[in-house]
């Protein structure tokens, strides 16, 4: 268990944190995830990678937490309004720092879009693995990421950053 925890806890924590947006909740979340793994180790069928299995459990737990907190409906509306001590997109753009503006806008995506962007770009999951984690068809995975990217481009454009796409 220590080996498993040592190998995966940081990525599980980061994935959870990006979903629930609260460090304390994310901290509790990883304890719950690994405790579940401890309890259900026998149910792991080995058809997918351990990290895929862990991320799927993390996602399920995070959504349960969000439902419990009744924050789900707040998510999309509040995403752009969540305060941050860093510069806002306009300021970042004034600095001509596209990377910083990009990172800022990545946090402004909806929960569904953040999730798919993180799974593909950060956790480097294949189409099939994302489909398994999120529980949607593979074609939906592809189109959801495409529209997440379009939304990101829109946020950047609104912040004055033009990247030539779309």
Partner 1 sequence: MMALSKKMLEQEPSEIELLLPWHATGTLNARDARRVEEALARDPELAKQYTVIREEYAATVHLNESLGGPPPRAMLKLFAAIDAEPERKPSAWLTARVRMSDFFASLSPRTLAWSASLAVLALLLQAGVIAVMVAKNQPATYETASLSTNEPESMTRALVPEAAPPPRASETAAPPRALVRFAPDARMADVTALLDSYHAQILDGAESGMFRLQFGGRSMTSDEAAALLARLQKEKIVSLAVAAP
Q: Where along the sequence are the contacts to partner 1 (CB under 8 A)?
A: 1-3, 5-6, 9-10, 13-14, 17-18, 26-27, 30-31, 34-35, 38-39, 44-46, 49-50, 98-99, 102-103, 106-107, 117-118, 120-122, 124-127, 142-143, 145-146, 149, 152-153, 163-166
d(C-alpha 5, C-alpha 1), whole Å: 6
CB of 103 to partner 1, least distance (A): 5
CB of 49 to partner 1, least distance (A): 7
Residue that has been written with the tokens 């995966």 in this structure: 8
> What are the C-alpha distances in Å from 50 to residues 46, 57, 62, 71, 98?
8, 11, 18, 29, 35
CB of 83 to partner 1, least distance (A): 17
Residues in the chain: 166
Q: Which is nearer to partner 1, 16 or 66 (CB)?
A: 16
CB of 150 to partner 1, least distance (A): 9
Q: Which is nearer to partner 1, 1 or 78 (CB)?
A: 1
DSSP state string for 59-76 = HHHHHHHHHHTT-HHHHH
d(C-alpha 38, C-alpha 36), whole Å: 5
């Amino acid at each position: 268990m220590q080996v498993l925890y040592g190998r995966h806890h940081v990525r599980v924590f980061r994935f959870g944190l990006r979903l629930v947006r609260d460090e304390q909740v994310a901290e509790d979340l990883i304890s719950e995830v690994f405790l579940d793994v401890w309890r259900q180790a026998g149910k792991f069928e080995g058809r997918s990678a351990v990290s895929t299995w862990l991320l799927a459990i993390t996602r399920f737990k995070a959504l349960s937490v969000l439902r419990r907190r009744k924050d789900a409906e707040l998510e999309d509306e509040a995403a752009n309004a969540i305060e941050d001590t860093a510069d806002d997109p306009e300021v970042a753009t004034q600095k001509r720092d596209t990377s910083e503006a990009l990172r800022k806008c990545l946090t402004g995506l909806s929960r569904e879009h953040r999730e798919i962007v993180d799974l593909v770009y950060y956790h480097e999951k294949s189409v099939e693995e994302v489909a398994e984690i999120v529980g949607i068809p593979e074609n939906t995975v592809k189109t959801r990421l495409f529209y997440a990217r379009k939304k990101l481009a829109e946020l950047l454009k609104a912040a004055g950053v033009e990247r030539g796409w779309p």
